[in-house]
Amino acid sequence: MTADWEPELDDIKAMRAEGGGADLRAFMRQQIATGKARRTAALKPAAPRPPGHRPGAWPTGSSPPGPPPEWSLPKAVVDAAVRHYRNTQHFPNQPCDCGNCPPPDTEENQ
């Protein structure tokens, strides 16, 4: 029996008479199963979960930023800047001897 076959009234009477109605019950169950199979759509795949967040961790595939650019300066330059800052803060009335400042205007330099 195929799903497209529709029984006539005489066919239903014959199925009911044969085997105490077992054939009719089997036929009806098969018809119901066929109808459900047509009606049920294929399940959609589950949507992918959003990427998780791990607190305190860098995103996957990335790395923390490197040291700041000022850390890559030569030590002599950093030392000179510190010396200049120290001279201007602690000895504001004296000429700076950091090496980067021009000499103070004095009678000797003119």
**Looking at residue 21, what DSSP letter applies?**
G
- Interval 2-52: pLDDT, tens: 556 677 888 888 888 887 788 888 888 988 888 888 876 777 888 887 777
Tokens found for residue 13: 């009477």
For the whole model, what pTM was predicted? Answer: 0.31
Kindly tell me the burial class for residue 55, based on how many C-beta atoms sit within 10 Å of its own C-beta (0-12, 13-18, 19 or more).
exposed
- Interval 35-94: pLDDT, tens: 888 876 777 888 887 777 666 667 767 777 777 777 788 888 888 888 888 888 888 788
The residue whose two tokens read 């003119």 is 110
Alpha carbon separation from 41 to 11, 28, 35 (Å, rounded): 32, 22, 12
Kindly tell me the burial class for residue 12, based on how many C-beta atoms sit within 10 Å of its own C-beta (0-12, 13-18, 19 or more).
middle
